[in-house]
Structure 1
Amino acid sequence: MISDAGAPLLPTKCVAEKRTDKEASISGAVFNVSTSIIGAGIMSIPATLKVLGVIPAFFLIVTVALLSDLSVNFLLRFTNSGGSANFSGEPATYGGVMRESFGWIGSLLVKLCVIISNWGCLIVYLIILGDVFSGSENGESIHLGVLQEWFGSHWWNARPYALFFIVVFILLPLALFRRVESLRFSSAVAVLLAVVFVCISFVMAISALFEGNVQKPRLFPELDGHSSFFNLFTAVPVIVTAFTFHFNVHPISSELGKPSKMTTATRISLILCVVIYFSVGFFGYLLFGESIASDILVNFDRSSASPFLNDVVRLSYAFHLVLVYPLLNFSLRGNIDELLFPKKLVLANDKFRFISLTLVLLGLSYLAAIAIPDIWIFFQYVGSTTIISIAFIFPAAITLRDVRGISSTRDKVVALIMLTLAVVTSTISIATNIFNESKS
């Protein structure tokens, strides 16, 4: 059975269909993988430097990137070792690989984790876009949005109207593309906007450095007690979230043709994202010091030295999220369709179902973003559960289960270490967050 993962969208049904489409390019895959990686997590990277210190944060970023590369290789090996389909006839998808190893329960778990994680991320994206364009209020702290600064407080730049315009006229057209490769140009622009974000942060940090307006960054964390040590683990889910793109591995890989191309694209993307993440974290921490917020965009308000650069930074990041949105939506939509309509035709070939599901998801995300003022707790709890499962726990478990008999002793040792680190750090992070909230 030929996998329909190469069909438009995240494939979910078994369809014997010969592909005649042109293979995607490695450069397009690099942009799509990089765009899948660089999302809302980037804005919390500077705060992790404040928690961990510069040197431990750098090593954590590199370590998580290396583990992500290993876990993706595990997935690709078990996907491609026996051809394009699994032993059970499942198409080459994440859910298919999990079903082969752990039956229908494994497939259901990965679908639910992807749905919860991706939908939460999409809601976070819309909340950030609302904050950027229409401002936000947190207790006594009020941050004006770009539209409020430019045009004053008018009804048409309020959050519901601004988000409605963004959803209907920008996100919806991008979400209607039926192939991941179709987004390669928008993904390239998204990566470029992330680079612009880094460059402007660098310019502002260097300028502040010459003017003597920066604080000396801490190289190592300050530990003043038992609880402070465990607080360091709360930074792990943020970095894990920032490097989780495993739900898009199969649709991107299937369009490349050769598995080796996906390995190359993944490693190039991870190196690029390590540079971008650490640069944003270091320059943001250098610029704002200990006053850095968990959302760095909060620090780029009109009270800073350069209002023009502040607006450029916020807008570049906002438009980056706009272009990242369709890639996460691909995976979310495909997994929901597979869960609700397992025996239907491939989603991309059913126009009515495709458009209906797209509209419903956008509508629900819009309503949630309007109703929920702040869901940054998402990074703490979802990052420690569903996201860490997608990135490390499931790939490690597949390797240890080894239903194909292809795992070497080294593979199993690496998988066991990966699984242990993921479970221990996520458990400590969740327990620490619950303890901190109980004290407040």
Structure 2
Amino acid sequence: MSPVSGVNVPLLPESKQPAKHASVPGAVFNVSTSIIGAGIMSIPATLKVLGVVPAFLLIVVIAWLADISVEFLMRYTHAGDSTTYAGVMRESFGRVGSVLVQICVMMTNLGCLIIYLIIIGDVLSGNQPEGSVHLGVLQQWFGIHWWNSRAFALLVTLVFILLPLVLFRRVESLRYSSAISVFLAVLFVAISSVMAILALLEGKTKSPRLLPELDNKTSFFDLFTAVPVIVTAFTFHFNVHPIGFEMDKPSDMISAVRISLVLCAAIYFTTGVFGYLLFGDSIMPDILVNFDQNSGSAVGYLLNDIVRLSYAFHLMLVFPLLNFSLRSNIDEFLFPNKTLLAKDNTRFVSLTLVLLAFSYLAAIAIPNIWYFFQFVGSTSVICLAFIFPGAIVLRDAHGISTTRDRILAAVMITLAVITSTIAISANIYSFFAENES
């Protein structure tokens, strides 16, 4: 079954299904991997906007709400007959509910693929935000040429690295590339943390801002634009069902999720603080762009390049996993009565190429990931993470919700709608204000 759409797709052949139930440590690893993605790149920028104390509180609150929403999803899943997120929504709201989940997953995954390409482009070919020039690794090594421009470097990456990976018909074919991607993500966090600690010992760090500074450029409502970024960083709900149904007991999945949320919250906050210590107010929406700054030594230069390249290659290897789910959902949404996608070469190749081409063009046209995190986090992600789980509880199709459940669900939906509305309004206002100036 598809983990999102609730329809049959060729994820794994039945003969390859595990004989034993998954362990809690294994589920912790899978959930943590689902959570930690490109979102970690923009966490330091939220500390720049919010300050250390509000950012810490916001990370804790969103992680807590994510835990509640997952508990809601798992309880209503086991109370009914469905084994998927879309199926649970179908039981509560009919066909409309399942379609809404499919649309939101497609928006979220496509947005993430574009974000990944933007980050990869930043690492390889740099960026020029607000007039400041940040060179990419290729430009630092070989100088500025046409062949290491953003458009050409991303095109080569798509054709020679991403295209062969996304053409695999089975998820298990990507298991080795996924293992390498996890190692590269850990390497990024470890090296960046060591660099911050060394800079702290040498007295070269920037003093972190504990509270936000409101001035003519930053209003109180601008602070809400950081909320979707952190919500996006904690959204893994479309992977809850495939991971949870490999486990023996639902309570084991809840335990695994809680351990993962604590672990990831600690990683996010640590990365945010160390990133801010290194770069201060000059920190960019994508912190990898800041690592073009040389510390003045050969070792520092090498570490900077290793940090950037390790995470860029990590995203290249994560890309096909999100593309696989996205492609399956789009196909089932558009062609629900067709044969299995993996058995139709024309449909499979055409849809794969269209998705790659669209992601590439969008990444070239929109070189700032902050706007993408804000848009996706304010719409589809916040629906998947909070609004849909809360709505399932309030609908209470199986008659199992308690008064406490309904209160938490109502509060969760209310907070999600208010913060999302304010964030979208602030972004629209900022957009027109910048154009007028």
Q: TM-score, normalised by structure 1?
A: 0.88
Alignment-mate amino acid for residue 51 of structure 2: G
In structure 2, how many angstroms separate the alpha carbons of the residues matched to 1:192 and 1:269? 17
Which residue of structure 2 lines up, in the alignment, with residue 361 of structure 1?
355
- Using the TM superposition, name which of 328-337 and 176-185 deviates more: 176-185
Amino acid at match of 1:413: I
Moved more, 220-229 or 272-281: 220-229
| Cα gap change, 1:29 to 1:178, in 2 (>3 Å) | farther
Shift of 1:351: 5.4
Paired with 1:20 and 1:130, the residues of 2 have a C-alpha distance of: 40
Aligned match for 1:228, one of 219, 234, 237? 219
2:52 paired with 1:57: no
- In 2, Cα distance between equivalents of 1:313 and 1:108: 40
Query: How many angstroms apart in 2 are the aligned matches of 1:193 and 1:372?
Result: 26
Q: For residues 46 and 372 of structure 1, do their structure 2 counterparts lie closer, same or farther at Cα, with a shift above 3 Å needed?
A: closer
3-state SS of the aligned residue for 2:16? coil
Q: CA–CA distance in 2 between the matches of 1:166 and 1:18?
A: 30
Q: Given the superposition, is the C-alpha separation of residues 76 and 158 from structure 1 closer, same or farther in structure 2, using an over 3 Å criterion?
A: same
Percent sequence identity over aligned pairs = 65
Matches within 5 A, 1:10-159: 12-13=7-8, 19-23=14-18, 25-26=22-23, 27-83=25-81, 85=82, 92-159=83-150
Per-residue CA deviation, residues 78-101 of structure 1 (Å, 9 max, x unaligned), is 222234x3xxxxxx3222222221
Find the counterpart in structure 2 of residue 88 from structure 1. none
CA shift at 1:254, angstroms? Answer: 4.0
Does the residue aligned with 1:142 lie in a helix, a strand or coil?
A: coil
Q: Distance in 2 between matches of 1:426 and 1:60?
A: 14
Output one character per residue of 1:193-215: Cα deviation in whole Å (capped at 9) or x when no partner.
Answer: 22222222222212222222222
Query: Which segment is superposed worse, 115-124 or 182-191?
Result: 182-191
Distance 1:66 1:191 in 2: 25
Q: Which amino acid aligns with 1:219?
A: L
Aligned with residue 418 of structure 1, among 403, 412, 419:
412
> Which residue identity lines up with residue 49 of structure 2 in the other structure?
V
* 1:7-406 matches, cutoff 5 A: 12-13=7-8, 19-23=14-18, 25-26=22-23, 27-83=25-81, 85=82, 92-178=83-169, 180=171, 183-224=174-215, 228-256=219-247, 258-305=249-296, 306-348=300-342, 350=344, 353-406=347-400
Paired residue secondary structure (1:412): helix
- Would the aligned equivalents of 1:71 and 1:396 in 2 still touch at CA under 8 Å? yes
Q: Which amino acid aligns with 1:432?
A: A
Alpha-carbon spacing, 1:340–1:426, altered in 2? closer, same or farther (3 Å): same
What amino acid does structure 1 have at the position aligned with 2:136?
G
Match for 2:230: what amino acid? I
Aligned mates of 2:161, 2:251 — CA distance in 1: 34
Q: Kindly tell me: are residues 252 and 361 of structure 1, through their superposed partners in 2, closer, same or farther at Cα, counting changes over 3 Å? A: farther
Distance 1:258 1:184 in 2: 25
RMSD value, Cα: 2.8
Paired residues of 1:31 and 1:188 also in contact (CA < 8 A): no
Please tell me the residue identity of whatever aligns with 1:57: A
Residue 117 of structure 2 contacts residue 363 of structure 2 at CA under 8 Å; is this kept in 1? Answer: yes
Mapped partners of 2:152, 2:376: distance in 1: 29
Number of residue equivalences? 427
| Residue deviations 1:246-301 (CA, integer Å, cap 9, x gap) | 12223333445654443343233222211211111010011111221222112111
User: Alpha-carbon deviation of 1:318?
Assistant: 0.7
| Partner amino acid, structure 1, of 2:182 | V
Counterparts in 2 of 1:349 and 1:36: CA distance versus 1, 3 Å: farther
The structural deviation recorded for 1:123 is 0.9
Change in 2 beyond 3 A, CA 1:78/1:181: farther
Assess if the C-alpha contact under 8 Å between 1:230 and 1:429 holds in 2: yes
Other structure's SS at 2:94 match: helix
Return the offset for 1:129. 0.7
- Kept in 2, the 8 Å contact 1:10–1:331? The answer is no
Q: Distance in 2 between matches of 1:415 and 1:187?
A: 35
Q: Is the 8 A contact 1:193 1:320 kept in 2?
A: yes
| Distance in 2, Cα, partners of 1:183 & 1:252 | 17
CA separation of 1:289 and 1:226: change in aligned 2, threshold 3 A: closer
Which structure 1 residue ranges, 5 or more long, are not aligned? 86-91
Q: 1:408: which partner in 2?
A: 402
In 2, Cα distance between equivalents of 1:46 and 1:71: 25
Q: Distance in 1 between matches of 2:108 and 2:337?
A: 24
- In the alignment, residue 221 of structure 1 is paired with which amino acid? P
Mapped contact 1:205–1:286 kept (Cα < 8 A) = yes
- Kept after mapping to 2: 8 A contact 1:12/1:335: no
1:89 corresponds to? none
Counterpart residue number, 2:431:
437
Letter in 1 for 2:289: V
**2:124–2:139 contact (8 Å) kept in structure 1:** yes
> Counterparts of 1:170 and 1:406 in 2: how far apart (Å)?
48
